[in-house]
Amino acid sequence: MHKYIFNSRDIAAYIKYFSVPQYLEVSYMQYIFNLGPTVLAVPLTKDFESFKKDVYRELYFLWANGFEDEKSDIACMIERGQLTLICDQSCINLESYMKLITLHLIFTRSLPYANLNFNGLPLQLGIKCDFEVYERNVALVTEALQLNTYDRFGNPFDLTKGVPDELLRLSLSDELKKMLNESADFKQALREAQKAHMDELKENSRKIFDNGPKRRPRTTRSLQAVSKSARAQREKTVGSSLYDGRVASSSNKQPKGAPKTMQKNKGDK
């Protein structure tokens, strides 16, 4: 069985499906590009800028085709009439979904395995072939994508004997894990990209505040003048209320010395 090599459409679909932030997209592309022909098609490993343009072109296709995030129909990941490379044509959605799972294990190499129940995938992915055909395709796609299968106790599980109705553990093959461990630390690259993004936001914010209108600082003399003016206004308002027999509009209290008036009812004469 041949080993599947990923292309720019697969990388773009991973970015969309797992909602990779826009400022980290280039970091993900750079990481998979540095892994080389082991996981990426040879024509895409010659020049990073060309590879990046191909991925962005595929990102636009996926967006235009309705594939935007994990809630999108997995069938929107492929073009109408596209042929499969691993599975039977009736199981093309299984092939697309398993590519995403494998790429997730590659990008998060610290994740030891992913839990998956193959028995419930046909309904979720819209696969309508016979279950025997589906079981055969599950074994084919896991082998082509270099995935090892274990039961929930960590014992190797042979998918050629059938698909159980329980969670199975999927992990990368030992050969692929060894290659990833020898590569550069992807987490460090992501931390540096996030730090650069935050520094850029801080710098832009600082420029906006520095270029904004500056308020003239108040001197001690101006503060004293404002304080005296406010105190004089308060004294004027209180004095007019007390000596003229009027109540300030903002006060509900009865003025001192003023007779209290009683409100007459309509029936009183």
Higher per-residue pLDDT: 123 or 206: 123
Q: Residue 66 is part of which domain span?
A: 8-189
Q: Is residue 205 part of a domain?
A: no
141, 94 in Cβ contact below 8 A?
yes
Q: How many domains does the chain have?
A: 1
Residue 56, pLDDT score: 96
Q: Is residue 136 part of a domain?
A: yes
Q: Is residue 216 part of a domain?
A: no
Distance CA(66)–CA(73), nearest Å, equals: 8
Q: Is residue 139 part of a domain?
A: yes
Write the single-letter amino acid at 241: S
4, 37 in Cβ contact below 8 A?
no
Q: Is residue 119 part of a domain?
A: yes
pLDDT in tens, 12-21: 999 999 999 9
147, 106 in Cβ contact below 8 A?
no
Give bridge partners of residue 150 from the DSSP assignment: 156, 169
Is 213 strand, coil or helix? Answer: coil
Q: Is residue 57 part of a domain?
A: yes
pLDDT in tens, 197-236: 677 777 777 777 777 665 555 555 565 665 666 666 666 6
192 burial level (CB within 10 Å; 0-12, 13-18, 19+): exposed
Q: What percent of the chain has pLDDT over 90?
A: 49
Higher per-residue pLDDT: 218 or 60: 60
Residue 18, pLDDT score: 93
Q: Is residue 16 part of a domain?
A: yes
Q: Is residue 65 part of a domain?
A: yes
For residue 61, give every residue at least 6 positions away whose Cβ sits within 8 Å of its Cβ, in sequence order, or none.
9, 12
52, 218 in Cβ contact below 8 A?
no
Question: Across all residues in the chain, what is the average pLDDT?
Answer: 82
Residue length, the chain? 269
186, 31 in Cβ contact below 8 A?
yes
Average pLDDT for 34-56: 92
Residue 206, pLDDT score: 72
Residue 205, pLDDT score: 77
Distance CA(164)–CA(129), nearest Å, equals: 17
Where does the pLDDT of residue 266 fall: very low under 50, low under 70, confident under 90, or very high at 90 and above? Answer: low
